[in-house]
Amino acid sequence: MLVKDGEDARDLVAVAWGECCVVFSMLCVGLVWAFITGWQVTLVRVRFAPVFAACMAVQSRLVADKR
């Protein structure tokens, strides 16, 4: 069992929420900076985001099947 009691669950959620906020803020700042420095190249690179997301989804399903 991963979580033994409520306090462990709160700590787990707090850590996961904090890491998600950090990743999201880094992504937003990086995207804004990229648009400022070269918006044409940024648009070309952003169009590949769905391909990257699909590859990550396939990889996570393959890893989950092996467990």
pLDDT for 25: 93
Distance of alpha carbon 28 from alpha carbon 42, whole angstroms: 13
Categorize the per-residue pLDDT at 55 as very low, low, confident or very high, splitting at 50, 70 and 90.
very high
Q: Any idea where the domains of the chain sit in the sequence?
A: 6-66
Query: Residue 1: its pLDDT value, please?
Result: 54
Predicted confidence at residue 65, as pLDDT, reads 74
For 28, list phi and psi in degrees, rounded to 5. -65, -45
Give me the mean pLDDT over the 6-26 stretch.
84
Q: What's residue 67's pLDDT? A: 61
Q: What is the DSSP letter of 5?
A: S
Contacts of 37 (CB under 8 A, 6+ apart): none
Mean pLDDT of the chain: 84
**Is the Cβ–Cβ distance between 3 and 9 less than 8 Å?**
yes
Do 29 and 23 form a contact (C-beta atoms < 8 A)? no
Task: Look up the pTM and report it.
Answer: 0.56
The answer to whether 44 and 35 are in contact (CB under 8 A) is no
